[in-house]
Amino acid sequence: MRLKKLVLQGYKTFATKTEFLFDEGITSIVGPNGSGKSNIADAVRWVLGEQSYSTLRGKRTTDMIFAGSQSRPRAGMAQAILTLDNSDGWLPIDYSEVEIGRRAYRSGENEYILNGQKVRLKDITDLLATSGLAERTYTIIGQGLVDQALSLRAEERRALFEEAAGINHYKSRRAETLRRLQETQRNLQRVHDILAEIRPRLSSLKRQATRAQNYEQISVDLQNLLRIWYGYRWEVAKKEIRRSRETAASSEKTWQVSRQKMRVQQENADDLRRRIHRLQQQVSETQNKRDDLRDQLETARRQVAIMQERKESVQRRLAEVEVELPPISQQRDAAATELAAATEELSAAQASLNQAREQLQTFNANFQTQQATINKWQSELQSSQQAQRSTQTRVAQLQGQLNQLREQLQEQTATQPSGDEGELVKMQAEVEKLTAVFSTAQQKWKTSVSSAPICKTAARAHSRAQNLRRDLRDQEQQLSRQQKSWPGWKPRPRC
């Protein structure tokens, strides 16, 4: 046996990966106190499976891991790999070199490695036990171990010699074998107890076993029969599915045809609904017309009733008129006689009115002549010209009134009975009086124009025109009052 190499990484004071090579001969490690010389021996113990942390100078697994320094952080894992030369086959394994490794994590978990493969701690212990490198061997003698061995008692010293001789491995295997034999003996005793308990029920158990075998056979047969039955039902179901698909296809075609027919029926129904709607509208319109005709008929009936009443009233009135007709005929004859006399008087008044019109025309001609003369003196006689224009306007109005009066006399002559002869005489007297006033005004106008200066004549003409205007207004009012007093008189609109 020869130790070839030791590799440490993260173990105690070895933060980085450190490799120790052990050549032939004696290898010594020299260094000051506290440099980590003992950590190398502890690493060899630790990698060989040492479980006592007191022997490794620690209290827990994390004490085996580098705790860090001011310049380096702490490590998360500690690893040690020990390489042994097995060229002479001193280890019962088919490798010329054997690498035994151990890893520890801060979680407390440990891993054991044999030639790169993860193994159990028991595998490592069994491998090393035959070569004298067991867990409690004294192949590694640390500081103070010699004094401790010399101070042991006889019994303890015997254990030390046996362990150094390498017989502890066989003793532990013997103890393990005896323990297993005892467990086997206990198991055999238990089997005898069970057989003694089962023997009285053996016949019953045989019957049950036979039944169980029969049950298993029947179950197998049943499974086969069920498989056959299920196959048959599967084929039947497949045939039914095919028939169902064919039926579904035919049903689909039938459904399509029915759907087309239903669509046509739906369209026809829509047409019928529209026709019904139109007919309902027509019926509604006809009902409205019927209601209107009923209202009109009712109105016509009421009007017929009213006309019937009016007819009866008119008939009664005609009967009354027929009774009153003879006296009215006599009155009509008398009125015709009076109308003839009034017509003659009206003709005389018409002649007088025509004469007054001629005089008025002559007055207008003279007035226009004087107006032409006055226009030459327009700057001095502006007030007189204004009066002359007013007089001329009034004369024109009087002429129109005379014409209207003449027409009214003609109408009164044609329409009034002879009983109004006095009124016509008064009217004729008023017309003659008005004509005399016009004649007098015209004479005075001529006299004033020929005998006086233009300015004085204009002033007097203006005064006389005002007097004439007042006289005409009085005559017009008097004539209007007389006209209103005539029965059936209606004033004509002026043009």
Q: Are the beta carbons of 48 and 133 closer than 8 angstroms?
A: yes
57 close to 38: Cβ distance less than 8 angstroms: yes
CA distance 355 to 39: 176
Q: Looking at residue 126, what is its pLDDT?
A: 81
Cα dihedral across residues 49, 52, 53, 56: positive or negative: negative
When the pLDDT of each residue in the chain is averaged and rounded to a whole number, the result is 78
For residue 222, what pLDDT is reported?
A: 92
Structure tokens belonging to residue 411: 């109408």
Look at 118 and 328; give whichever has higher pLDDT. Answer: 118
Residue 413 is predicted with a pLDDT of: 63
Mind listing the pLDDT tens digit for each residue in 36-87?
888 888 898 899 888 888 888 888 999 999 998 888 899 999 999 999 988 8
pLDDT digits (tens, 9 = 90+) for 466-494: 665 566 566 656 656 655 554 444 454 44
Q: What is the pLDDT of residue 125?
A: 83
Segment 191-215 mean pLDDT: 86
Phi, psi of 403 (to 5 degrees): -60, -45
pLDDT digits (tens, 9 = 90+) for 305-331: 898 888 888 888 888 877 877 777 777
End-to-end CA distance of the chain: 166
pLDDT band for position 457 (50/70/90)? low
Domains parsed from the chain with CATH numbers: 2-135 (3.40.50.300), 343-485 (no CATH)
Least confident of 320-329, 336-345, 370-379, 441-450: 441-450
Other C-beta atoms closer than 10 Å to the C-beta of 137 total 19
Token pair belonging to 92? 């019962």
Distance, CA of 420 to CA of 418 (rounded, Å): 5
Left (φ > 0), alpha (ψ -120 to 50) or beta: where does 114 sit? beta
Burial (0-12, 13-18, 19+ Cβ within 10 Å), 225: exposed
Q: What is the pLDDT of residues 87-112, one digit of tens each?
A: 888 888 888 899 999 999 999 899 99
Of the two residues 86 and 129, the one the predictor is more confident about is 86
pTM over 0.95: no
Residue 357 predicted with pLDDT over 50: yes
Asked whether the beta carbons of 304 and 388 are under 8 A apart, the reply is no
What are the counts of helices (DSSP H) followed by strands (DSSP E) for the chain? 9, 6
Among 61-70, 234-243, 396-405, 437-446, whose mean pLDDT is lowest?
A: 437-446
